[in-house]
Amino acid sequence: MTTTVGALEGVRVIDLTQMLAGPFCTQMLADQGAEVIKVEPPEGDQTRIVGPYRVDDTLRAYGGYFASVNRNKLSVAIDLKKPEGRALLLRLTDSADAVVENYRTGVMDRLGLSYETMRARNPKLVYAAIRGFGDPRTGRSPYVDWPAYDVVAQAMGGVMGITGPDQDTPMKVGPGIGDLMPAAMCAFGIVSAILHAGRSGQGQFVDVAMVDSVLSLCERIVHQHAFLDAVAVPEGNHHPFLCPFGMFPAKDGYVTIAAHSDVHWPIFCRLIGLDGMIGDARFASVQDRRAHQALILEAVSSFTRRHTKQELLAILGGRIPFGPVYHVGEIVADPHFKARDMVVEVEHPGCAAPVRIAGIPIKMGDTPGSVRRRAPLLGEHTDHVLAAAGLSAAEIAQHRDSRTIS
């Protein structure tokens, strides 16, 4: 692992998030060099016990879920149900650039830890919240009090409605984009607000709704409705306007091809022996090819299913937009992901050998960021962080004796 810090070196973030959306957001900031202090309840983030665990893990302090979205962070365990714990948190936020939480609406307010309370103490503080339907401070949704998870955001944000094998069968997308998309949006909002605070001296509230984020990902359905008065439906594995553009069968799986443009279409036809289609008026333009999609899909599929993914890679790779549909074993073995450091190894408490997690997708020339440390043990950095905040050893011991910290 590299020790390069990143563009956000010197930025301090207090992370009050759990599960996936919030932790992925703050991990993005930590990867780019921010000091992220993860404040957990005494029992820890709920995902610590989710797993999966390596078979050789003798400690089982946390599994793969937690390890994958909490690297590069410090862990402090504070009981926010106690007034002493809330006082400690406010003390930490006094020197912070940002606070991030993903509790349901009103939870932090009831604890006396609202944005307004923190801003009164630290005017430059950026306070970010990720909720299912947003926060009333920026626009009160009629569903503001509803709980939400990834599957709810995918459903109401529109992505399920255009995903599926046919127009009558909506489907959930595999990865938790209902969490991951708002996480990325929130990270962008936090960095933008910190930049503004540096110029103006004023922090602000950053509000990200999970369903809003998924809708922004599905922007196409909005313009289709506005321009065509159309309601988009699941479109299977091909594009509603472009052809060939989608997934095709191979002898050992599937591949993707996007040879719809006037530039790539004739090249593609020659590569797979369909030269006769090049001069055929039925396939002359992008619109013509879409109008005769069934003929093209049948001809292309007839060719691709006779070859393996690697054979098709040798024929088409680099000549037209093409990619095999990989499983994770193929991803790990592919030289692209090795060259780009997209699968990295970190130590794991309780395991003799390191484990692999996904790397950092944002590459920066001068401040590249890094995977500097594994996900933390619960409360691993409590003493260090509180001492840096000015507490004496005696004060820290007193808080531990009263079970305010652990």
Residue 143: is it exposed, middle or buried by C-beta count within 10 angstroms (0-12/13-18/19+)? middle
Report in angstroms the alpha-carbon separations of 226 from 168, 219, 276: 22, 11, 38
Cα–Cα distance for residue pair 372/346, rounded to 1 Å: 9
Q: Is the peptide bond before 23 cis (omega within 30 degrees of 0)?
A: no
Contact criterion met (CB below 8 Å) for 107 and 72: no
Angle at 221 between CA 218 and CA 222, to 5 degrees: 100
Report in angstroms the alpha-carbon separations of 193 from 124, 187, 202, 203: 10, 10, 9, 7
Residue 249: beta bridge partners?
Answer: 254
How big is the chain, counted in residues? 406
> How many other C-beta atoms can be found within 10 angstroms of the C-beta atom of residue 294?
9
Name the strand (E) or helix (H) holding 211: helix 210-217
Catalytic residue check, 252: no
In sequence order, the 6+-apart residues with CB closer than 8 A to the CB of 351 are 54, 56, 57, 58
Name the strand (E) or helix (H) holding 127: strand 126-131
Cα–Cα distance for residue pair 152/129, rounded to 1 Å: 18
Please state the φ and ψ torsions of residue 164, each to the nearest 5 degrees: 155, 165
Question: Residues 15, 79, 179, 212: which is the catalytic one?
Answer: 179
Full 3-state SS string of 255-315: EEEECCCCCHHHHHHHHCCCHHHCCCHHHCCHHHHHHCHHHHHHHHHHHHCCCCHHHHHHH
Name the strand (E) or helix (H) holding 13: strand 12-15
Query: Which residues are designated catalytic?
Result: 179
